[in-house]
Amino acid sequence: MILTTLEGVPGKEIIKHFGIVQGSTVRAKNIGKDILAGFKNLVGGELQGYTELLQEARQEALDRMIQQANSIGANAVVNVRFATSSIAQGAAELYVYGTAVRVQ
């Protein structure tokens, strides 16, 4: 599966469009990491635990999108975009969407 943020795939021609595919995940924070982050908050800087947590979650959203694209017979997703929103206290939704296509 080829993913790009462009309107096509470099070096390949699009032969069929399948429309929007999307993937999302809603994640809550983990208490242990939150306490550590609370301490880290005092001195500032990167919160590595969260960086990893969100990275994994985003990968999961991507995987779901890829799965959907696979199931309709696409072999690439173009114009991929990410969006993040806070849903509730301590929970965030990571959302990814794009256009599924078939390239040569």
Nearer to other proteins, 18 or 36 (CB): 36
Nearer to other proteins, 74 or 92 (CB): 92
CA 50/CA 94 separation, integer angstroms: 13
In the complex, which residues of this chain contact other proteins (CB under 8 A)? Answer: 2-11, 29, 34-35, 37-38, 40-48, 50-51, 54-55, 58, 79-86, 89-90, 92
Decide: residue 59, CB within 10 A, 0-12 exposed, 13-18 middle, 19+ buried. Answer: middle
CA 2/CA 47 separation, integer angstroms: 31
Nearer to other proteins, 3 or 26 (CB): 3
